Chain A
Amino acid sequence: MIADFDYQFFIEVLVGGLLSGVMYSLVAIGFVLIYKTSGVLNFAQGAMLLFAALTFVSLVERGIPFALALVITFAIMVTMGVAIERTVLRPLTNKPPITLFMATLGLSYIIEGAAQLIWGTQVHGLDLGIEDVPLEIGGVLISQFDIFAAVVAAGMVLLLSLFFRYTRIGLSFRAVADDQFAALAVGLRLPLIWGTVWAAAGLVALVAGLLWGARLGVQFSLSLVVLKALPVLVLGGFDSILGAIVGGLLIGASEKLAEVYIGDYFGGGIESWFAYVVALVFLLIRPSGLFGQKLVERV
């Protein structure tokens, strides 16, 4: 039986799963940035992603050059991020986490509605100029686009890491992530840091929106990709960028392998819920996720 096993196909499924996982990580990183500094699970991340992709593609379709459209969209996303922080989250400071979560849930509907109001309901194709014919490496077909997406994701993680390690605001961010009250006590300006983080989440939404938009087309259901990020966050931890990457890889690979090798035993179509099974198992073993901070409370 082992001799009959198609190893080449197994590797193909595994590599495809890992590369899909990178795409999930891209979305998850946006969640992590906000959660780490403010403890808010920003459910509006998917809507921000949709808004970014829709804005970009609508600008390009109106004849604005690619690079300029990218800059304008980035500016819009940063403005949106800062505006959300100022108008929605700052007034809710010190409110229970569930209140903040509900606020972002409401926000996601507002952003989705605004996106359709401004840019219309039509679907759009998004061509980033990456030809998506498969590459054959050692008899295994690998998507060129997925490799490109993985490189972009790696670049973005590197950029964020450098930003948080070597810039003044980045260091402040880490201080706030460790202990908000201590950060306040030493004079760090929390509103500025939160504003910056929301702007960074806007950038992540733009990058993820463009890559997912090129993959799925730019349409309303783009905001549903958040559902792919949730098990990644549970598994990797809500406050770890590294966790988002590792979680994405594990979820991507396990759901694809499960679909192909055991899907038939369950009637097929199991990958969407199987990801949550994996996440749940990890949750039972490590409630804070693989790389999440363990919460220690004095009682």
Chain B
Amino acid sequence: MTFLSTIKAAALSAAMIVSVALPAAHADEQYFPLQSYRVGPYAAGGTGFFGGFIDYLNLINIRDGGVNGVKLTWDECETQYEVERGVECYERQKSHAGAAAWNPLSVGIAYAMIDRITADKVPLITVNHGRTDSTDGRVFPYVFPLLLNPYSETSGIVNYIASKEGGIDKLKGKKIVVLYHGSPYGKETIPIYELLAQKYGFTVQQIEVPHPGNEQQSQWLTIRRAKPDFVVLRGWGVMNPVALKTAVKVGYPVDHIVGNVWSNSEEDVIPAGDAAKGYTAITTQASGNSYPVVQEIVKTVYGAGKGNLEDKSRIGSVYHNLGIVNGILNVEAIRVAQEKFGHRTLTGDEVRWGFEHLKLDPAKVEALGAKDLFHSINVSWDNHEGEGYVTFQQWDGKKWNVVSDWIAPDWALLRPIIEKSAEAYAKEKGIKLRTADDANAVTTN
């Protein structure tokens, strides 16, 4: 190869790289900016969730040729679960045309993006997490804590404990300890447990574990002395296995510990070894790979060598299935919006409209191959959570097994509290409450 041809080849390669990297979207593409985390302390959860999400997007592309012919595209930007990196990723990815929605799976990053995505008019999906009052679409038009917010989770857990005791009236006189992570996330449900305790007549003792939670001897000795009927574990990361191990160490029965939605994965129980046997945790999506949609992913995506998980034994794990469900919700919102605005690349605001009309009843969920994977969702312009149902899984030492029916949180009880909080936020920020008519006004270009 001559020097000239080498230069030519290099220039051609550079041009190809630039053309791939340029933030341009074709008319038939819908783009997902993924602020993922595949290294760092929370990589295990990140690889599972984003793996499941990408696997589902791949399934739609390979099996269906996209959503009504619109190809789904994405790129990943590594955040390591750090807020400043997440915001950097946002700045880098926001210029890409055709962005459908942001899905950072991080409370901190989500909080940092609320004002930005609201100005951009692109939805921010915080499936199973995020700030509770963002459920109120009157105040947070672009934020969607789909399926479950922290207050609903609290109500779902209390309802489950009631079912174990024989009914909600049997909660009277019982004692529940809430062991929570020492962070804004951990503290968010403190008033709701107090409220529910007052309403149902049980006593509640809430005990903080300082971050990161790798030492819990004193908390568990206090719990043992308090002799509660149940302990709710509202943990995160290393706090969860340490809680289970320390519970065994002080002789507290693990089958009386109920974990919240960030204490419910394989990553939370495997490090605890045998101490985790019998532990139960809430979830919005069941784990396992027997569901038709998961099977299709295995056959179509992994069969084509395009599976995202390196370790195939993680297919059907809690985080992987959460990613798949998140994929279903995002794709179906696009589909809903396409029916109104046309089978083309949608604007962020059009996708927002799609999310606000996302209604998947159990029959529709079954048609999507997700029967029993998750229950249903019913999002509206002012209810951005969408009345997700919860179920409970118990760890048998090797896998999670579903041990309850689908349980509905007490949305009617929680809604006024959520509205009050959202209205206070609106007042503080000078936000005018949105109406149904406002929600129907959509920016189409």
Please report A residues at the B interface, Cβ cutoff 8 Å: 6, 9, 12-13, 16-17, 20, 113, 116, 120-127, 132-134, 141, 143, 145-146, 215-222, 224-225, 228, 255-257, 259-260, 263, 267-273
Contact = CB atoms under 8 A, between A and B. Distances in A.
Interface in B252-293: 267, 270-275
Given A134-B251, A220-B41, A269-B209, A13 B218 contact: yes
A57 to B, nearest CB: 10
Given A121-B38, A143-B249, A116 B208 contact: no
Nearest to B249: A143
Helix, strand, loop or mixed for chain A's interface?
helix
17 contacts: A17-B218, A122-B314, A123-B44, A133-B248, A133-B251, A134-B250, A146-B249, A219-B267, A224-B212, A224-B214, A255-B218, A268-B182, A268-B206, A269-B208, A270-B210, A271-B218, A273-B210
Nearest to B241: A217
B41 A221 contact: yes
Contacts of A12: 221
Nearest to B267: A123
B217 A256 contact: yes
Given A17-B218, A216-B238, A219-B238, A272 B245 contact: no
A146 B221 CA distance: 15
A260 B218 contact: yes
Given A13-B218, A17-B218, A122-B311, A141 B271 contact: no
Interface of B: 38-44, 46-47, 182, 206-212, 214-215, 217-219, 221-222, 224-225, 237-238, 241-242, 245, 248-251, 267, 270-275, 310-311, 314
Contact of A225 (B46, B211, B214): B214
A163 to B, nearest CB: 30
B243 to A, nearest CB: 11
Contacts of B273: 125-127, 217
Given A221-B214, A259-B219, A9 B245 contact: no
A124 B241 CA distance: 11
- Counting chain B CB atoms within 10 Å of each CB, which of A125, A257, A267 scores highest? A125
Given A218-B271, A268-B208, A269-B182, A20 B217 contact: yes
Given A220-B40, A224-B212, A259-B218, A125 B272 contact: yes
Contacts of B314: 122
B138 to A, nearest CB: 33
Nearest to B220: A16
Contacts, number: 124
B250 A121 contact: no
B267 A267 contact: no
Contacts of A218: 271
A17 B222 CA distance: 13
A267 B208 contact: yes
Contacts of A122: 44, 267, 311, 314
Contacts of A132: 245, 248-249, 275
A113 B42 CA distance: 13
A106 to B, nearest CB: 16
Contacts of A146: 249
Given A125-B272, A134-B251, A217-B241, 20 more contacts: A6-B225, A16-B217, A20-B217, A116-B43, A122-B311, A123-B267, A141-B251, A145-B249, A217-B270, A217-B272, A217-B273, A219-B44, A219-B267, A220-B41, A220-B42, A221-B212, A257-B218, A259-B219, A272-B215, A273-B210
A-B interface, 5 closest residue pairs, ranked by CB to CB distance from nearest: A217-B271, A269-B208, A121-B43, A272-B210, A268-B208
Nearest to B186: A269
Given A113-B39, A121-B44, A221-B212, A216 B222 contact: no
B267 to A, nearest CB: 5
B222 A125 contact: no
Contacts of B242: 215-216
A256 B210 CA distance: 12
A76 to B, nearest CB: 21
Contacts of B238: 216-217, 219, 221-222, 224
A240 to B, nearest CB: 23
A272 B39 contact: no
A125 B218 CA distance: 23
Contacts of A256: 217-218
B193 to A, nearest CB: 14
Contacts of B209: 269
Contacts of A273: 210
Question: Which of A123, A127, A143, A219 has the most CB atoms of chain B within a 10 A radius of its CB?
Answer: A123
B211 A116 contact: no
A116 B39 CA distance: 7
Nearest to A272: B210
Contact of A228 (B38, B182, B215, B245): B215
Contacts of B40: 220
A116 B242 CA distance: 21
Contacts of A228: 214-215
Contacts of B311: 120, 122
Nearest to B310: A120
Contacts of B211: 272
A26 B207 CA distance: 28
